[in-house]
Structure 1
Amino acid sequence: MAETKELKAKEKQEFINTAEQTQSGLVFTPAVDIFETEREITLLADMPGVTGDNVTIDLNEGILTVSGNIKPWEEADESDVLIEFEVGKYYRQFSLSEVIDQSKIEAKMEDGVLRLVLPKAEKAMPRKITVTS
Structure 2
Amino acid sequence: MADDSGVSKPVVEEASAEQTRAAACYRPHVDILETADELVVLADVPGAAADSIDVDFEQGRLTVHARVPARQKEGTEFWLQEYGVADFHRSLQIGEAIDAAGIRAEYADGVLAVHLPKAPSAKPRKIAVRAG
Q: 2:17: which partner in 1? A: 18
Tell me how far apart the structure 2 counterparts of residues 96 and 57 of structure 1 sit (CA, whole Å).
14
Q: 2:25: which partner in 1? A: 27
Query: Cα distance, 1:77 vs. partner?
Result: 5.4
Task: Note the residue ranges of structure 2 that are not aligned, 5 or more in a row.
Answer: 1-14
Q: 1:129: which partner in 2? A: 127
Tell me how far apart the structure 2 counterparts of residues 20 and 90 of structure 1 sit (CA, whole Å).
13
Please list, as runs of the form range in 1=range in 2, the aligned pairs for 1:1-80 lying within 5 A after superposition.
18-21=17-20, 23-76=21-74, 78-80=76-78
Tell me how far apart the structure 2 counterparts of residues 17 and 49 of structure 1 sit (CA, whole Å).
25
Tell me how far apart the structure 2 counterparts of residues 56 and 114 of structure 1 sit (CA, whole Å).
11
Identity, in percent, stands at: 35
Tell me how far apart the structure 1 counterparts of residues 80 and 16 of structure 2 sit (CA, whole Å).
29
Tell me how far apart the structure 2 counterparts of residues 30 and 20 of structure 1 sit (CA, whole Å).
16
Q: Which deviates further from its counterpart, 112-121 or 123-132?
A: 123-132
TM-score by structure 1 length? 0.78
Q: Is the 8 A contact 2:98 2:119 kept in 1?
A: yes
Q: Moved runs in structure 1, 4+ residues, more than 6 A? A: none
Q: Is the 8 A contact 2:52 2:67 kept in 1?
A: yes
Task: Note the residue ranges of structure 1 that are not aligned, 5 or more in a row.
Answer: 1-15
Give aligned pairs, total. Answer: 117
Tell me how far apart the structure 2 counterparts of residues 31 and 98 of structure 1 sit (CA, whole Å).
21
CA RMSD of aligned residues (A): 1.9
